[in-house]
Structure formats: structure tokens, C-alpha cells
Structure 1
Amino acid sequence: MGGPHLSALHVLHALCVLLILLEDGPQSTRASACPQPCPPDSSCVGGTACRCDPGFQSSSGKTEVNPGETCEDIDECEQPVEVICGKDAGCHNTKGSYYCTCKPGYRPGSGATKFSNARENTCHDVDDCKPGQNSCHKSTQCHNTKGSYECRCRPGWKPVPGSPNGAHNTVCEQEISFPTWTTPPEIKSQSLSRFFERVQELLRDFKPASAQGTIQDIIQEVDNLLDSPGDLLTLPLSEQHCVATILLTGQEQILRELSKALPNGPLTFGTAVGTELSLEVKEQEDKNVTLSINQATMLVNWDVVQDSGGSGPSVVGLVSSPGMGKLLAEAPLVLETEEQSVLHETHKGLLQERSPVLLSDVISVFVSNKDTQNLSSPVTFVFNHVSAGPRQKVFCVFWESGQNGSGHWSTKGCWMVGTRDASTTCQCTHLSSFAVLMAHYEGQEEDPALAVITYVGLSLSLLCLLLAALTFLLCKAIQNTSTSLHLQLSLCLFLAHLLFLTAIDRTENKVLCAIIAGALHYLYLASFTWMLLEGLHLFLTTRNLTVVNYSSVSRFMKKFMLPVGYGVPAVIVAISAASRPHLYGTPARCWLHPEKGFIWGFLGPVCAILFVNLAFFLMTLWILKSKLSSLNSDVSTLKNTRMLTFKAIAQLFILGCTWCLGILQVGPAALAMAYLFTIINSLQGVFIFLVYCLLSQQVRQQYRKWWEGVRKTKAESEQYTLSSGLLSDAPKHSVVKDDGLTEKNRKLSQL
């Protein structure tokens, strides 16, 4: 019986212990269950002995702790960390426990900042080179390492003395490697030799901290040489041009290298004789940067400035050298083939016996990017210069070095955007040394007789076009589709001729000249479009002689002639203006510039219309020929058809086909063709009034009615005036001459 009884007692004892634990907690349990109180950080086990809690051990090293002993914390982190926490983690001991965290430079993938064993380890390396996660100086580049990073000098940079490369606090300065800048052996000049000696001294003693002072000294030395060239001016012109090439290219390269050591920010500098420097050093911030000096302004995209293979700050600089013109005297100008052809068309060509003249200072551009021969976006320059005179053309040029060491002015890759009396805007797709050049050209002598014919003919055409337009508007008997076409053609030609006579030479204001050129472009294209519709309508009218059903074609003409007549020219002009707006207006005329084939925006549609109208004309004559051969005794029909044939031939001039004479102005017959072309085309308005008004029987009848009405009104007015005079002052008229008395008596007899 003892066994079961003891088991019951044990169960009862366990229940009591559980109740005590629930009510008073573990310490009261230990104190009340064990014979003696357990030490701190221990617990009573089985009601008979005390044992240290997990994470603690007795001072004797035994499992059970005696009343006189203490439980001491076990340092779990004394064990190998890889075993407890795993790789790339650290262990942190706590009282009775521990926890693991990722090492610096690592981050837990689970997102938990702490974990308790190696199985929970998800530590992986962090990219410390992301912005804001490292302390690298801007003169260095961050290189991520496993669990950390290094700050290393950028390519072309070196650590500042006392700053070890690779440390977090590394500071670097740029390594400066100056190009060779010495006197060429084939050029014998004491002034140039002394100049290079002084330059070499400055570069040999260069310290990055004194970069700004060295830049100013280099510019001053170049300025002194150009101000007092000495024996340089006694050299042959080819050698002077070679010296200019060496100075321009060398100065550009030296300033680019020196500017690398400058701090961020702008720098401007000027000398007493007018040489100026303006540069900017900064990180990429804005898409565009503008540099200005007194004689020029440059606008460049920052993507062009930056070195594609580098990082950090970039530099862009602009230097003007007014004294460089002494060495560039009588330098030749080389034009591109296309520009030569344009110049020949407009000005006959340059006068070779007179050398081009510099209008502006020579400016040089240097940037961090060394690859500047084919830029993604053009650089814009605005030059201030003296005004050009008559028969002088302005060019945007750059100095191009030749294979023999010399050089010449060239327009390749540069073009003029606009010019005024004292400024010129240029754009270039490369960087070098630039200037605005003035060249003399041979003006095309205008034949005064042709000018008189043009102005007299256009004046007569304006009068006739005005009368024709009034006729088409007021004469109700002839108003139909054909009359509407005549009216629109007359209005367009009237406005075009009027604008041509009054504003074709208004080239003073470039914006106004461009607007005039655009308006003339539209009005003449509209005139030719209406000529095309006239030719189509004439063809359909003659075709109506053999085709029964014509109503659908007539409705089509009425519905679409206005959108086609005014819409097609508007589309052509809009495309031309959107593609090359700066080519509206030339230095001599407010018309389309022949550069880059822009003139074909007018000639192309005109040639197409003339070709189609000529085809319509030939088909019309063929139909009329067949119709005339089939007629017999129908005299009225024969008469009308012959009149239509005459009008068809007359419309050859009206429909613009005589513009083909302009193509024939070549060879020995050029002068005769020029006169024929000018006479016929300037009298186009007269032909319209003659064919469509004076040769129309209905219009003549209407004119006769108008004239009789005017005469009747005038006669009634004179009759009333004469009757009143006779009644009031009869003797007064007795002294009137016989002619006047006879006329009055004749009018009185008509009453």
C-alpha cells in the first residue's frame, strides 16, 4: 500500500506547487517549495534542490547550486561566432541569453534586426557606394568591398599628401599633364622662343593650389606676345598662320588642363588690351550653360561639355583674343561646295583678289570633353562686330589647321542663323577657334531695262487684276464655277504682285523680311494652285463637248476648289517654315534662301503644276481639234468652239506655262529669254483681264450697259444743270463759244 500512497502524495504535492506558481510566481515557489531559498537566477527542481536557470551556471561548475553559491551568466559568445550566429554576423551576450546581428556593411534579408541562431542568418553585403551611404570625398570614387567600401582617387587624380589612397577620408587632387608646347624647329623667331621659355617656367613651377593664378599668367603671356609680336610679323604669311595655329591649339589644351585644378564655380579675367576669359566649373546640373564676354556669347548643352569617360566636375571656357588677327591677316577662306553654289547664285562669287577681313575677335572654346568634332547638339555663338558694307558677305568660320602646320578659315560644320548691323548669330557642330569673317563679292548687275519692264508690267497687271476682280464680283450674268476660279486667281495674283512691288527689298528687319518671304511664298503657291484648278476646269469644259454627264464633276469642283486652292499652299508653307524658318529671307531679297535646297519648297510644287497644266493644255487642244473637224454647218457652235480654242491658247500664258522660259535662260539666248520671260509673266494680269473680261460677249454687254447707264446719268445731270442756268441767267450763255453752244443745243434737242 505504500507505493500508491506515496504516488498520491507526490501528485498532491505537484498540484500545490502549481497553485503556488500561479499565485505567487516562480521565486515564491522556489522559496516555499525547497527546504532553503534558492539563489538568484536559479529555480527549485523537484522541491528538493536548486538549479541555475538556462544561460547561467553555478560558481562551482555543478548543475545544482548550493545555498552558499551563486548562478553566474554564461557568455555564449565565447564560442565560435560562425557556429552560433553563422557567417557575416556578430554575437551579443545578454544576461542569461544572447542575440545575433549582421556585421557592419551587411544587412539581413529577412528584415529582422536580431536573430538567435545560425539557421536564421540571412545577412548579405550592402552596396555602400550608393549616394548618402558613404563618406567619400567628391574628388574620389567609391569602390564597394565585402562588408565595407574604399575611397579611391579618380583616374587622373592622386591623393593629397598625407591622405592615404583607399581610406574613408581620402582626399585627392588632379594630376596635371601638360602637352608639349614649344617652338617648331622650322620657325625661327626670338619673340616666340622667349614666349615658350616663360610658359615652360610657369608650368614647371605649377601647384594645383595656384591654378587660377597660372591661368591668368598664361593668358597674359599670350596677350603680351600678340601685343608686341616683334619678328613674328616679318615671317612669311604661311609661317605666321602656322604660329597662330600653334598658339590657338596650345592655349586651348593648356587651359583645359589647368582648369581641372580649379574649384567649382565661375571665373572671369581680362587684360588691359582686351583679351577676356570666362569659364565655369561645376557638376552636371543644368542642361545648358551660357558664357559671355564683351565680344561674344556662347550657349552650349552640358552633355557636350562633360567628358564621356570621366566623372565629377566639368569645365567649359571661352577666350577672346583680339590680337590674334595680326597673325591671321590674308588667311584664305575655304567654303563648302554647297555654300559656293549658293553664293554663285546670289552674288556671282567672291572676289579672289581681295582677302577676307575679320569682323570679330577670334574666340577659342575649351571643354572637359576632348571629342568635340561631331557634337550631338550644335553650339550657338553670338558675335558682336563692326558692320559690313555693301557687296560684303558675312560668314561664320572656324580656324582649321592644315597638314603642313598652317591653316585656313573654313565654314564646314558652321552656319549663320541670323545677322544684324553689329551682331551675328552662328551655330557649329564642333568646337575650335571661331570668328565672323567678311568677304567681298561680285554683285550681280541688274539690267535696268528688265527692272523697268518688271515694274511697268506688274503695275499694269495690278490695275487689270483689280478691274477683273470687280467684274467677276459685280457682273451677275457671268457668275459660275469658272468665274469663281478666275476671281480667286485674280485676288491671289493681285496680292502677290502688290507685296512683291512694295516689300521685296525690305531686308532691314530680318523678322519682317522673313514674314514677307513667307507671305510671298504662300501667295505665289496659291496663285499656281488656282492656275492648276483653272487648267483642270478648262480640260473638263472641253471634255464636256463630247461627254454627256458632267454634273458630278461640276459639283466636285464647287465643293473642293476652296480647300484645295488655299489649303495645299498652306500645308507646303507650314512644313517649310517648321523645318527651316531661318531660311526665309536673303541678304538681298525677302524671298526663299537657296541654301540647302530650300528654294525647292517653291520650285518643286511650281514645276509639278506647270507639267500638269501643260498636259491639260495639250489634251484640251486635241479635244478641240477633234471637235472642230467634226463640225459642219452649225455656225454658232463652230464660232463658240473656235472662241474656246482661242481662249485655250491664251490660257497657256495665264496658267503659268511661260515660267518654263526661266529654265531656258542659259547660253547665248539667255538675255533674249530673260526679256521674254519678264515681259510675258509681268503682264499675266493683263492677259487675265483681256481673255476673261474683254473677250467675253456677256461681259462686254454688261460693260456697255454700265457705260450707257453712266452716260445717261451724266446727261440727266447736265440737262438739269443747263435748264437751271438758262432760267436764271439767260444772257450769260449768249457769249459761250460755238462749240459749247452747239453741244448744249444738241443735248437740249434730245429732251
Structure 2
Amino acid sequence: MGGTGHSVFFLLYVLCVLWTLFEAESQKTSDCARWCPLNSRCVNATACRCSPGFTSLSGDIFTNRLENCDDINECGPRLAVSCGKFADCQNTEGSYHCECSPGYQLASGAKTFRNESENTCQDVDECSFRPPVCHNSTVCVNTVGSYRCRCRRGWELKPGFQNKQMNTTCQEMSFPAWTEPPGIKSQSLSNFFKKVQVLRRDFKPALAQDTIQNLITSVDELLEVPSDLDALALPERHKMATHLLSELERVLRTLAKAMPGASFTYRSPLNTELSLMIQEQGDGYTTIGQSHARMLLDWAVATAARDSDPTVMGILSSWKMQELLANASLELDPETKAKLKDLHQGPVRGAQYKLLSAVNLVFLSNTNTEHLDSPVTFAFSHPMETPGPRQGLVCAFWKSDDRGGGHWNTTGCWTRGTSNDSTTCQCSHLSSFAVLMAHYDIEDPKLALITKVGLALSLVCLLLCILTFLLVRPIQGSRTTVHLHLCICLFVGSAIFLAGIENEGGQVGLRCRLVAGLLHYCFLAAFCWMSLEGLELYFLVVRVFPGQGLSKCWLYLIGYGVPLLIVAISAAVRHERYGRSLYCWLDPKDGFLWSFLGPVIFIVLFNAVIFVTTVWKLTQKFSEINPDMKKLKKARVLTITAVAQLFLLGSTWVFGLFLFNPHSWVLSYTFTVLTCLQGFFLFILHCLLNKKVREEYRKWADWVTGNRYSEFTTSSSNQTQAHRPSESGM
């Protein structure tokens, strides 16, 4: 009973305490605002406070019962927090956190962090982190925050796809198609393309290195001398060279992409050398080279526009290519011409050259190389050469033309320096390059004017001589026949020279070859008739017996037959040597100019002997005929006769034979004046100084003016002439 009483008492006590507490709480709550909105708490009976991460229009504490507590966007435009590089801020309800950007992750492996000081975001290598969705013909390439797929070595893009895309798809690389250039008939060229087709048929990307070596060997065999390529006309040869260089560049660029490794150098048994550099990535300047050439360029220049890895740089140096590109014209850029004009005080008509270095074919992955963003520097090796007057080492490139051919050009290339065995060049474009020893043809305006005026005057005088020898009967004879045909040959040769000697286009075509051939024949014929002049003079002065001259049959055979034989043999052996890039004359290469110089030297020496002999004989005859003749008069007569015979026998050409240095202006002007005025001197000697001719001229003049010619005057003149034989112009 007592225990039950205690229990009841304890229960009543607990109820009393709870009631007291309930009353106290009710009293406290009655002092707080019951209207505080979500995400807030009561401050007092009339105010509320927004929870952390929320705010109202009035701020954190507000009294307006219509206001709400809205979430604060810590990642909004007025960024209140900084997550650092490669990270993004993510807003949450009442808070925020930082996450690494796609393609990056925290070093700890955690997903989120709170501020920049906790940022350890680093790039994720997707190619090793997770299997990328790349076609099995491609390889995965990690990029910043992502990945791309590109073709494997030895594979190329399938049509319709682009490289370095998520869906890139490739196919096994093949040898590029390569066909013969149209319109060129050559057995050597046909054999070469048969070998190319075999290489294309058997090509495997894994054997790209062997294929490149076999291709270079085939090119060497094609260019090996002698071959039927030498028989091709120059336009066809240059067309073939342009085709060969452009296609070699395309094929080597493709095959290089299939090769493993980063570099490759090969030298053939015939000293053709190839250097390749193949890299996936690069930066700054890089150098590639071999024994014949070196190249320094910015890596950005070498990379293709579409970033198609790998990047290829290559140099193919061939000495055998020199023969194929020889005898092409050289076009100087306007800047070089202006400098040379100021230096030599005369305009530059062009330049003749000699190839010094190997022909260097340069190619890159970048095919848009006509105007490079930064210039490329080259160093080309070549035998030591010391330029002479009006000569210089030129950095030139092979430039194709609209007709498929090409020529050497210097535009966009500059010579930066030379040493004993190397020349440094800088170019703003890429092509096939070589170092040339150029001899500049500087035109002397005064000399050109003298040539044109002198030849024009000689043409008029030669025409008067021809008409005189045909129409004046009193002077007809074997000597007049020789005079006539000498003048005809000089007239035709001078007319052709004046009208067609200059090769305006720079290309040696049919017109230029024909002009060179005609000049060769006409001037050789003129010299042959000069030799006959000397022979006739010998018979007249030394062998004074009548009837000892040559018959007309022999005169024509020697005067026209001998030069025809020489020209025919020359054309049959080296017809391509007729014509040059600047002038339509004989090309001096291979000693071809001796087909003209040889006969000329022989005739000049022969006539020199005749000249000395006749002058000596005339001295004796003057003493025998008139022993009392004064020495002064005798000297004057002999001098006039000797000078006349110099022009008659072509001895003035001796000045040209001794003109080894074209810069000797004394010899140049002397030779030009004497040879250009040869027709003028022949007219004076054979016409104006001949009494019989002068008498005929007077008859013609009187007939034109209507006066009758005085028979008494004629008779007196004939008698006077008989007593004054020295004035006959012998």
C-alpha cells in the first residue's frame, strides 16, 4: 500500500513539472513572429532573418510579411567566389561548390571543392583514361580537355572525312597515280614510267622506305647520260623537267607520311641525296639538311593548313637534273635589274649562266608555299667559283609557265652571302632551287646605236655596190664577180642580223634557230668570198700572168658550197645549239662556236698572208715603175692601198677574235665600228675610188638630168686613168 502511494505521488510530480514547462514555452512563443517564411527564422515578434545562402529584398533581416527569402546565386554574373583555372562554379540550394571542367579532374580524385586554394584540376588523358570511340584505322590523340582521332602512319583519309575528328575514318595509303607527260616521245621516259607502275603496283606502306630508294634510283637512271633525252628539243626537255619535279614533290610528300621514325637520309650511287623529317608536333625554328643543302624554317610554315599530322619536310638534291634544266632562260627580278643598271651604268638585257649547285627540290606538308608568312633560309653547297666582272652568284628557282615548260627566275629569292663552297639564300616561297653563276648582259646604249646606224648605212652602201657590179659593164670580170657575191652575202647577213638577232621572248624556238642558222651560213659565205678576194688579189699582184684566176664554177663551189657543208654538218651534229636565250646566234657550249670561229680564223690568217705578200710586192712594183716617186707619195699610196685591203679581206675581224674581255671598251667600239661599216668601206673602195665606176655614175647623172655626156671628157678621163693606175682601187 505504501509503495502504491509513492508511485502516485511521483506521477503527479512529473505532470506538474511538464505543465510548468509548457506554460513557460507558451509564454516565450507568444513573443516571436509566427509569419516568418521558408528558409528564414524568427528574430522577434515583428522581424525574421533569412537563413545562410538566402536573402530578401530588404536584406537578411526583414519585417515585411510579404517578403520571401530567395537563394543567393554565388556563381552568378557578380561572381562572389573564384574556383581557379580549368574549373567551373556550380550553384546549389543555399550554397555552391566548384567542379573541374570537362576533361579535367582533381588530383585527389574528389568531385567537388569550395575555393581556388583547393583547385588541383589537371588534364585527363582521355586516350589512356578511358577507351575513346576511335575507328581502328586511327589512333587517339589527346587534346586539352578532350581527344581526337587521326590516321595511323601509312594510312590516309577516306573520301568525305576530315582528320582529327571524332569520326575520322582512314584507309591504307596507296602510291599516287603518275602518268607520262603528254606530247613527249622518249624511250627512256617510257621505261621510267614502266618502273613507276611496278612500284605503284607492289607498294606497301610498311615498305615505304624501300619504295622511295627504288624511285630515286629510277630517276637517276632516267637522267643518266647519254640518253635519248638529249635529242629532245629544249621546250620539250623543259616541259618534261617541270612535270618530273612537280610529280616527284607530290609522290615523295605522300610516301614520307607512311615512313616510321622522325628522319631519314638516303644517298644514291649517283650522288642524288634525299633528306626527310617527319614529326607529329613542333615549335619554333627547325633545321633539315644533308651534304648538298640545308634549310632553316619556322615550324608553323611547314605545317599544313588543316593540321594534318604528321608534318613532313624534305630536300631532294640531284646533280643529274642539271642537264635537263640546262639552256633554259634566266629571268632577273626588277629589283636586281635596277641595282645592276645603277652599278654598270646601263640596262640589263638578260643574263647567261652556269649551274653551280645541284638542283634542290624542296617540299613540305604545307602545299600553299607561293607566299610564305616567314622566309626560308637555305645554304647550298657548290664548287668554289670566283665571279668576274659583270658576274655574280644568283639564287634562282625553277618557275613553270602556262605551256607546261619553265625557266629560271630570281623573284622572291635573295643571295645573303657566299663562302668558298657554299651560298646562303633566302626565299619567300618554295620550289626547286639552284645556285647559278650568272654573266650579266649589260647593254651599252651608245654601242647599240652605233651598231644599228652602222649596219643601216652599210646596207644602203652594199645595195649600191650590188647594183653597180650588176649594171656597170666596163668593170665586169672575175674580180667583180667576187665583189658582187661578197656584197650579197654581207647584205643578206646584215639585214637578218639587224632584224632578228635579238631573242625577245627568251625561249629558243624555231624562228630563233632559223635566224641563227641563216646568220651562220651568210657570214661563213661572206668569209669564203673574202678568201676568194685574197686569192684573186694574189693572182693579180703576185702571179701577173693572165688567165690564172679561178673559173666561176669553182668560185661558186667555194663561196657557197663550203659554208653550206659546214652548216649542214653542224646542224646534223648539234642542231639544238642554234639559238640562245638572249640572241639568235650560236650557243658556245660544247665548243659549238668553233664551227664559225674555226673557218673564220683560217680565212683571216690566209688573207693576212696575202695582205703582207701583196703590200710587199706593191712596194717593189712602185719602185720599178717610177723610181723617182717621192717617199711621202709612195707611203701615202701604200697606206691607202693597205687600209683598203684590210676591209676587203675581212682583216678587221681580228679585233673581234682578240676581244676576250667584253669590258674592254676600246676593242669593243673599234670592232663594232669597223665591222658595221664594212659595207660602207667596200662602196668607197670599189665604187667611188674606181674611175670607170665614177664615169658610169656621171653618165647616169647626166641621163637623169637630161645633159649629154661629153665624149671629149670621157676620152680624156680614160687617157688620164691609163697613166694613173694607182687610183683604180686595187
Length-normalised TM-score, structure 1: 0.40
Q: Greater helix percent: which structure?
A: 1
